[in-house]
Amino acid sequence: MKLIILDRDGVINHDSDSFIKSPGEWIPIPGALEAIARLNQAGYRVAVATNQSGVARGLFDITTLNAIHQKLHNAAQQIGADVDAIFYCPHAAVDNCDCRKPKAGMLKAIGKRFDLPLKGVPMVGDSLRDLQAGYVAGCTPYLVLTGKGEATRAKGGLPPGTQIFANLGAVVDHLLLGGQAAE
């Protein structure tokens, strides 16, 4: 079994500095759901790992978060894509939990759920904390330039071996076609 782990906001859907607080605010990035469908067709299991501190901040509740994720599932299924699991951390940074990226707890839970070692599993994110969590967990980090990706690249300090691509579709092209079309 092949596994890929994706961050949500900025990788699959448009990000917002004021958080995605309702299903209406969840808008897929063009081509992202199609990229997930291509991964599925190639035998990949797709897991999402997303920090959702808006819950701890009181901006939305778990019921709303579940509705957002249901919209993601529905939109994916409409084009033949399937997200196998969505893992989220509802905590704020001050909670110092093990599941909030850049810590690797959420990713380790994904590895346990799928009964797979994470060594070399692609972890796609748009922020440094996504890449750091993936690197610590043994994943191969992929930075996409959508969402906060351009700013993340500009700040530097990326984990060793991070590969940079324009968007999720370009990462999938690379993984499935063995291409070297970085950036």
Instruction: Enumerate the domain spans of the chain.
Output: 2-177
pLDDT of 82: 97
pLDDT of 119: 97
pTM of the model: 0.96
Give the DSSP H/E element, type plus range, for residue 46: strand 44-51
Q: Which residue has the tokens 């990706």?
A: 149
Pick the CATH number of 2-177 from 3.30.830.10, 3.40.50.1000, 2.40.100.10, 3.90.220.20: 3.40.50.1000
pLDDT, tens digit, 9 for 90 and up, residues 28-78: 999 999 999 999 999 999 999 999 999 999 999 999 999 999 999 999 999
- How many Cα atoms occupy the beta-carbon half-sphere of 129 within 13 Å? 16
Nearest to 45 by CA among 88, 6, 12: 6
Catalytic residues: 7, 9
Q: Which residue has the tokens 């690379």?
A: 174
Tokens (6 digits) for 94: 């001050």
Beta bridge partners of 3: 45
Nearest to 165 by CA among 52, 20, 31, 42: 31
Q: Around Cβ 36, how many Cβ atoms within 10 Å? A: 27
